[in-house]
Amino acid sequence: MPHISERYTDLPEATIGKLLKLAAEDKTVLSLGPGEPDFSAPKPIVALTKKFADTCNHYSPTGGRTELKEALVKKLKKDNNIKTNPDNIIVTCGSQEALLLATACVCDVSEQVLVPNPSFLGYLPTFELFNAFPVPIQLKANNNWDINPSELKYYIDKKTKAIMINTPANPTGNVLSKKILEELADVARDNNLYIFSDEAYEKLVYDKKHVSVGSLNGMEDYVVTFQTFSKTYAMCGYRVGYAVGPSLLIEAMRKSHIYTTLSAPTISQMVATKALTIDNKYIEVMRKEYDKRRKYLVKRLNAIGLPTITPNGAFYTFSDISAVHDQSFKFASDLLHEQKVAVVPGKEFGSYGEGYIRCSYATDLGIIKKAMDKMEKFVKKHQR
């Protein structure tokens, strides 16, 4: 067989795919695996998609349609207190593509990015694809899964180019406070580093307020903010996200974007422009439902002996499974086979996620309740 690159063969093998495939194939499985909203896109978005169907067959300008970038400037000012202009924005095929482009334009071979661990499973492979080196920064449950800015100095050297952060976070649900973000901003400025701030779940916060590190004074040269329509508007399949950051870097990303996807889908950009103006009630309905499920799930998980910190954002819980097992993959696969409940092993999110499982509450409350009854049986049977 002809050669396959080491870049590919060295990529970590995600078991989540296999588990979720098994769960999707067997309709009797109760899945707490999904990483995307279970809601349909709000009605006005569906109507706009139909309306634009006749007029979207052309490419869009690389880097984004002007009207969308102008609408995003207003959105970023109003919602995130980030003052910017269209030249500082790139629209991409989901925020994942924006992260890929930022990595390509910031990191040369063997340069380093500090990456919280556990964290979103898209980060490590993205950095590794470009032969950049992700340096794991351990997050701990007993520190509320917060990143500790004062620890970062031990990991920064001349090869370090960026600090990855994610607030609200997947898989822990952690929301970083303004104080921590200010401390991180100081670290970035003092060491001339970028902060890559993934804010995919910015609108899914409960009891806390989301703060964008890019809104802090003097950070416009240091922060690349990644946001998306995927989670807020339940528009994952539209593949439209964006990054805002220093204009030179955004221009470099735009040039590279010509060779990745050329442009984000035209219809998605047209719909996204209008989505920014739909009534907030459509987002609130989803957020309130997630909140209800969150409270239920956290209570049940703790009651059955899987200690879980109450998440303040996103739609995941991250639970300590030490009452049963040290190995999250074994826990998840035994649970799937014995009780037909799918969860994601914590190790999928990095080595420091071992000993935990992620449950998603982007699924119907009725399913969550049944899944928890089955998980309770499983824990009782295997408790050590």
Ligand X SMILES: Cc1ncc(COP(=O)(O)O)c(C=O)c1O
Q: For residues 174 and 339, which CB has a smaller minimum distance to ligand X in the complex?
A: 174
Rounded-to-integer distance, Cα 244 and Cα 267, Å: 21
One of 126, 228, 319, 360 touching ligand X (CB under 6 A): 228
**Measured from the CB of residue 97, what is the shortest distance to ligand X in angstroms?**
7
Which positions from 146 through 165 interact with ligand X, judged by CB under 6 A? none
Instruction: Quote the least distance from Cβ 123 to ligand X, whole Å.
Output: 8
359 forms beta bridges with: 317
Cα separation of 83 and 80, whole Å? 9
Q: Would you say 95 or 263 has its CB closer to ligand X?
A: 95
Candidates 88-96, 184-192, 245-253, 352-360: pick the segment binding ligand X (CB under 6 A): 88-96
Q: Smallest Cα–Cα separation from 132: which of 158, 114, 112, 117?
A: 112
Which ranges in 196-327 belong to alpha helices (H)? 247-260, 266-275, 281-303
Q: Which of 60, 80, 95, 360 binds ligand X (CB under 6 A)?
A: 95
Distance between CA atoms of residues 156 and 189, nearest Å: 13
- In the complex with ligand X, the residue whose CB is nearer, 254 or 358, is 358
**With respect to ligand X, which residue has the nearer C-beta, 239 or 300?**
239
Contact 175, 210 (CB under 8 A): yes
Query: Which runs of E-coded beta strand occur in 99-193?
Result: 112-117, 133-138, 160-166
Tokens of 108: 């040369």
Instruction: Tell me, residue by residue from 106 to 125, as one string, x for binding to ligand X by CB under 6 A and - for no binding.
Output: --------------x-x---
Q: Is the peptide bond before 12 cis (omega within 30 degrees of 0)?
A: no
- Per CB under 6 A, 103 contacts ligand X: no
Among residues 113 and 324, whose Cβ is nearest to ligand X?
A: 113
Of the candidates 84, 167, 197, 230, which one interacts with ligand X according to CB under 6 A? 230
Q: How far is the CB of 230 from ligand X (least distance, A)?
A: 3
| Contact track, ligand X, 294-333, x by CB under 6 A | ----------------------------------------
Q: 344 and 338 in contact (C-beta within 8 Å)?
A: no
Site string for ligand X, 13-52 (x = CB under 6 A): ----------------------x-----------------
Q: Contact with ligand X (CB under 6 A): which of 96, 308, 312, 328? A: 96
**Nearer to ligand X (CB atom), residue 62 or residue 197:** 197
Which residues have a Cβ under 8 Å from the Cβ of 5 and sit 6 or more positions away? none
Q: Is the peptide bond before 118 cis (omega within 30 degrees of 0)?
A: yes
SS3 call for 223: strand
Taking the CA atoms of 213, 126, 72 and 37 in sequence, report the sign of the dihedral they define: negative
DSSP state of 224: E
- Residue in the shown chain whose Cβ atom is closest to ligand X: 94
Q: Which of residues 178-197 bind ligand X (CB under 6 A)?
A: none
- The encoded tokens of residue 342 equal 């799918």
For residue 124, what is the enclosing H or E element? helix 123-129
Determine contact, residues 241/230, Cβ cutoff 8 Å.
yes
Q: Count the site residues for ligand X by CB under 6 A.
A: 14
- Selected from 198, 202, 289, 348, the binder of ligand X by CB under 6 A is 198
CA neighbor of 215 nearest in space, from 228, 206, 207, 225: 225
Q: From the CB of 311, what's the least distance to ligand X, in Å?
A: 13
Half-sphere exposure of residue 119: CA atoms within 13 angstroms, side-chain side: 28
**CB of residue 35 vs ligand X: minimum separation in angstroms?**
4
Angstrom distance (rounded) from CA 259 to CA 250: 15
Which among 20-28, 89-97, 208-216, 333-341 is the span making contact with ligand X, rule CB under 6 A? 89-97
Q: Is residue 200 close enough to count as binding ligand X by CB under 6 A?
A: yes
Q: Which is nearer to ligand X, 65 or 239 (CB)?
A: 239
Q: Output 37 or 339, the one with its CB closest to ligand X.
A: 37
In this chain, which of 16, 56, 129, 236 binds ligand X, going by CB under 6 A?
236
Name the packing angle between helices 365-382 and 328-339 (round to 10°).
Answer: 110
Contact residues toward ligand X (CB under 6 A) are 35, 94-96, 120, 122, 166, 170, 198, 200, 228, 230, 236, 241
